[in-house]
Amino acid sequence: MGEAPTGPVLEVKDLRTHLFTSRGVGRAVDGVSFALRRGETLGLVGESGSGKSLTCLSLLRLNPQPASRIVGGAVLYEGTDLLAKTDEEMRRYRGKRIALVLQDPMTALNPVFTVGNQIFEAIRLHQGARGSRLRKIAAEMMRLLRIPDPEQRLGDYPHQFSGGMRQRAVGAIALSGKPSVLIADEPTTALDVTIQAAYLEVLKEIQRRERLAILFVTHDFAVVARMCDRVAVMYAGKIVETADTWRLFDDPRHPYTVALLRSVPDVEARIERLYAIEGQPPSVFEPAKGCAFAARCPHAEARCHDEPPPDVPLEGGRAVRCWLFVR
Amino acid sequence: MTTARAPLIEARNLRKYFRAGVGLPFLAPRAPVRAVDDVSFVIGAGETFGIVGESGCGKSTTAKLLLLLERPTAGTIHFQDFDIAVATKDELRRYRASVQAVFQDPWSSLNPRMRVRRIIAEPILLNEPHRKKEIPGVVADLLRQVGLEETMAGNFPHEFSGGQRQRVAIARALALRPQLIVLDEPVSALDVSIRAQIMNLLKEIQDRFGMSFLLIAHNLATVRYLAHRVAVMYLGQIVEQAEAEELFTRPLHPYTQALIAAARLLRPGEEPPPVLSGDIPSPSAPPPGCRFSTRCPKAFGRCFSEAPAPRELAPGHRAACHLY
Amino acid sequence: MAVGADPGAARRAVFPAAARMWARLRRLPLLPLAVILLTILVAVIADQLVPYDPERINPRYAERPPVPFAGGMWEFPLGTDRLGRDILSRIIMGTRISLGVAACALLLGSLVGTALGIVAGYRGGWIDVIVMRTADAFLAFPGILIALVLAVTIGPSFWVVVAVLALILWARFARLVRSEVISCKNRDFVALARVAGAGGTYIVFHHILPNVINSLVVLCTLQVGWAIIVEASLTFLGAGIPPPTPTWGGMVAEGLNYVETAWWISLLPGLAIMIVVFAYNLFGDWVRDVLDPHLRNI
């Protein structure tokens, strides 16, 4: 983005969220660190169970309790640690400074209230607007998200909206607090490709205008390419590689990233045979002694199995968590 | 329609209309949902025919029609030398044994109360009960074919991961050595790294046994990887069909072009392709003229009044569009 | 060859399932289970167990209190009633009646209800409408009034009570089974069975029933307590098992007029009802936790 570099608006340091169940303790988020600047989109990519959704919820301290607990780390919003806030103080950050959009818009909207009512509610809460001004701002928010005939559609119920429009309405609610950080957990996964493309364009336009920082969780590389400036790849609760989007696509370093990119078919190329990563992702309840990917890694050496690899900084601001890069 | 391979199954002018809701006395009857509206295609022996489209386009209903899970409102399905609609009991039995399926959700497609042995053997028990004695050997062999251990036959489905369950579902579909397997979104419920395993397994199985696949998917890249020929569906109709390479390198219909553009990896600095405006119209009230006209960036006068008929624009490449 | 099947994965998958099952078993409610097993045993061998004939009248020892109280005697540890009948013997015999009524009513109600629920859920359409509206009508039945009417017209008896309970129970079972069948028949494995050529009967017996049976067991266990209470209430009102057959509800009713002087005549059978119903409900809750399919895989 063309802005002068500033300090990160959100900085996550060594975040650890563990699961506490009858099966034991699961290290679902196990030392996640990243920084997010204004106007930037960081993609968080990983398979189910890699901990990306729990990371998102933990940032807002909305992780399910008592099944999970944040056991360590720091979430710095403009330098202040959210994990040290009281619940009351925390409420003032949610929605107002950091907004959250989830995969299924139907569960985010209350079916018995009109979409307008739900947007009003959010605006009242965050901006204190009332009466006709409320209506004006709500219609403005819907126009911002390119929902056609906003004034008229304010009176519609969620089921009268299509999937794509519903997700936009959720976006309108999320952005009504004028947040500076948006956490989007697979917001396009439930949408059809053509609808998805339109939604991403709207989101990008808002981002440019508001200098929004976005943490965008997805498992779809086409969405990453369209949306994200940088990508962090998660595996078994850890970020294993971070790089600028196209550096990652063109020159992946971590064996998991390499394998993952090679295992995805491409609409633009004829592929005779995909590379398939053997085995299953590990269970968070049985953490590996060394690198979590070692059991499936074609390059694994003895120490990969014995000792967890460090996070190795590389050129161009990228980093990789792998023994192969330790000299 | 030109196919290099001998046709195995042919669908002609298939239609499936669903009545919308229950007819209430004081309400005007609602228009039926035209889930599948005049769809014709041929699946050749040993080929993978892919149907791609967005939700509500009728691709899954088409699959259900071929699996005889739904009865067509109109149109015919020809298999080998007979028409399903007027087939004898014996012919129908032969058809059912020749057409099997793998569905999207491996958590729903295996009965949680049955052991894997029974799940895999069920098609044999139902169709060839005289082979009952061979079952342990057959099941062990099928498990090996799909990359599972023979010893897993005694386990229950919940003891498996998603990818393993999908392998069990594939083993079951193979049990009768069918000539066609309908794959309805076979990998979309799986994790990225497991998808490649299953897609490769499907390819291997086709190479080994030579059966045909009908692949239903919304992910274009998956279809390109697996399918030999592809049909693109929109609002109950096939708008374009061609050999996979032809379709993905020279898409003719604006909808196909938009789908491919939306699924591409955009290079940095590259201007994103124009997005389609608006939503997919309701299949109970499709727009007059071309069904895609409400969202088509290239639509002109005729598109809004006259429905385009599919025409062969290149060898084996048919599209329904007034532009050509 | 892409083999996603390392044997360790299966073992990993098996182990937590077994561990979870074990964790649930450990929470087995021992005391309620002991009560249930004891009452069943008592009901079965009641004839051998009773110290006296529960219906034998013995005015000489009428209204004896239980042992620890003044006037109590060890020959009648729980005291005697107005007619000098041994309360312990009557409670023991009453166990057989109470459990017998509950078992017969549940058997009848669950069989009819399950069959109709399966037909309604699986076939749908007008059969579904008829069965379910009938079930709703039966659930709206004032059971006690019906029992009173029947008691007056054909005379109160064991089987009238069973019939009245079953008339309400079948509808509860039908509703539960129908909803389970509907959610089950829309699952892909049923469609795949049809693709493989299975017919309706095969699907019901091999795919649907095995998936409904857990809910049936849960409902049965939870309804035992209800059945015991309703039987006792009916008998208390005189519309249930006619005297002199010893029943818990009947005993409570007989002692009602003498609560001030001979409280134990009503209180002890009342306690028996409470303890047994409580035990069945606690046990039923546990069975639901273990078997309920909606809590599985979590």
CB pairs under 8 A between A and C: 20
Question: What DSSP assignment string belongs to A106-148?
Answer: HHHS-TTS-HHHHHHHHHHHHH---HHHHHHHHHHHHHHTT-S
Q: Is C140's Cβ below 8 Å from some Cβ in B?
A: no
Q: Does residue C136 contact residue C130 with C-beta atoms inside 8 Å?
A: no
At residue B10, what are phi and psi to the nearest 5 degrees?
-130, 130
Residue C298 scores a pLDDT above 50 = no
d(CA B238, CA B244): 15
Residue of A nearest to B259 (CA): A194
Q: Is A273's Cβ below 8 Å from some Cβ in C?
A: no
Is the peptide bond between B297 and the residue preceding it cis, with omega within 30 degrees of 0? no
The reported pLDDT for the residue numbered A6 is 65
CA angle C287, C293, C298 (to 5 degrees): 100
Band (pLDDT 50/70/90 cuts) for residue A279 is: confident
At residue A35, what are phi and psi to the nearest 5 degrees?
-130, 145
Mutate to test the interface with A, among B220, B266, B267 (most CBs of A within 10 A): B266
Three-state secondary structure call for residue B94: helix
Domains observed in chain C? 95-295 (1.10.3720.10)
d(CA B117, CA B119): 6
The reported pLDDT for the residue numbered C147 is 74
Instruction: Return the structure tokens found at A234.
Output: 């998660």
The beta-carbon neighbor of B111 closest among C9, C10, C207 is: C207
Could you tell me which residue, C80 or B205, shows the higher pLDDT? Answer: B205
The beta-carbon neighbor of C9 closest among A22, A276, A280 is: A280
Calculate mean pLDDT across residues A97-116.
Answer: 84
Q: Does residue C33 contact residue C278 with C-beta atoms inside 8 Å?
A: no
Distance from CA of B132 to the nearest CA of A (A): 33
Residue of C nearest to A278 (CA): C4
Instruction: Return the structure tokens found at B133.
Output: 């004695």
* Residue ranges in B100-219 assigned as alpha helix (H): 116-127, 135-145, 162-174, 192-209
Residue of A nearest to C10 (CA): A280
pLDDT-above-90 percentage for chain A: 40
Distance from CA of A144 to the nearest CA of C (A): 40
CB pairs under 8 A between A and B: 111
Distance from CA of C285 to the nearest CA of B (A): 22
Cβ count near B15 (within 10 Å):
17
Cα C82 → chain centroid: 31
Q: Which one, of B254, B240, B243, lies nearest residue B315 by Cα?
A: B243
Q: Which residues of C touch B129 (CB under 8 A)?
A: none
Residue of A nearest to C6 (CA): A279
The reported pLDDT for the residue numbered C2 is 33
Predicted-complex ipTM score: 0.87
User: How confident is the prediction along chain B (324 residues), in pLDDT tens digits per residue?
Assistant: 444 678 899 999 999 998 765 555 555 666 788 889 999 999 999 999 999 998 888 999 999 999 999 999 999 999 988 898 888 888 998 999 999 999 999 888 999 889 999 999 999 999 988 888 899 999 999 999 999 988 889 888 988 888 899 999 999 999 999 999 999 999 998 888 889 999 999 999 999 999 999 999 999 999 999 999 999 999 999 999 999 999 999 999 999 999 999 888 888 778 888 888 777 888 888 888 899 999 898 988 899 999 999 999 999 999 999 998
Q: Is B93's Cβ below 8 Å from some Cβ in C?
A: yes
Q: Is C30's Cβ below 8 Å from some Cβ in B?
A: no
Calculate mean pLDDT across residues A291-302.
Answer: 91
Distance from CA of C112 to the nearest CA of B (A): 24
Q: Does residue C190 contact residue C184 with C-beta atoms inside 8 Å?
A: yes
**Residue B155 carries which DSSP code?**
S
Distance from CA of B265 to the nearest CA of A (A): 5
Distance from CA of A178 to the nearest CA of C (A): 37
Q: Cβ contact (<8 Å) for B161 and C210?
A: no
The beta-carbon neighbor of C2 closest among A22, A276, A285 is: A276
Residue of C nearest to B193 (CA): C4
Q: Which residues of B touch A275 (CB under 8 A)?
A: 196
Q: Which residues of C touch B122 (CB under 8 A)?
A: 193, 196, 198
Chains that touch C (3 or more CB pairs under 8 A): A, B
Lowest model confidence (mean pLDDT) among A10-19, B135-144, C87-96: C87-96
Q: Does residue B84 contact residue B76 with C-beta atoms inside 8 Å?
A: yes
Chains that touch A (3 or more CB pairs under 8 A): B, C
Q: Residue C156 is which amino acid?
A: P
Q: Does residue B37 contact residue B236 with C-beta atoms inside 8 Å?
A: yes
The beta-carbon neighbor of C189 closest among B100, B109, B204 is: B109
Domains observed in chain A? 10-97+179-266+274-325 (3.40.50.300)
Q: Taking phi first (over 0 means left), then psi (-120 to 50 degrees means alpha), and beta for anything else, what does residue B282 get?
A: beta
Cα C215 → chain centroid: 14
Q: Does residue A199 contact residue A167 with C-beta atoms inside 8 Å?
A: yes
Calculate mean pLDDT across residues A46-66.
Answer: 89
Q: Residues near C260 by Cβ (< 8 Å), separated by ≥ 6?
A: none
Cβ count near C116 (within 10 Å):
23
Mutate to test the interface with B, among A193, A231, A240, A280 (most CBs of B within 10 A): A193
Which 308-327 residues of chain A touch chain B by CB within 8 A?
none
Could you tell me which residue, B176 or C263, shows the higher pLDDT? Answer: B176
Q: Is B105's Cβ below 8 Å from some Cβ in C?
A: yes
The reported pLDDT for the residue numbered A2 is 43
Calculate mean pLDDT across residues C207-231.
Answer: 85
Residue of A nearest to B249 (CA): A268
Q: Cβ contact (<8 Å) for B159 and C195?
A: no
Distance from CA of A278 to the nearest CA of C (A): 6
The beta-carbon neighbor of C12 closest among A276, A278, A286 is: A286
The CA R_g of chain B, rounded to the nearest whole Å, is 21
Which strands sit side by side in the sheet containing B74-79, from one edge to the other? B33-44, B7-18, B74-79, B82-83
Which 197-256 residues of chain C touch chain B by CB within 8 A?
197-198, 202, 206-207, 210-211
Q: Cβ contact (<8 Å) for B147 and C207?
A: no
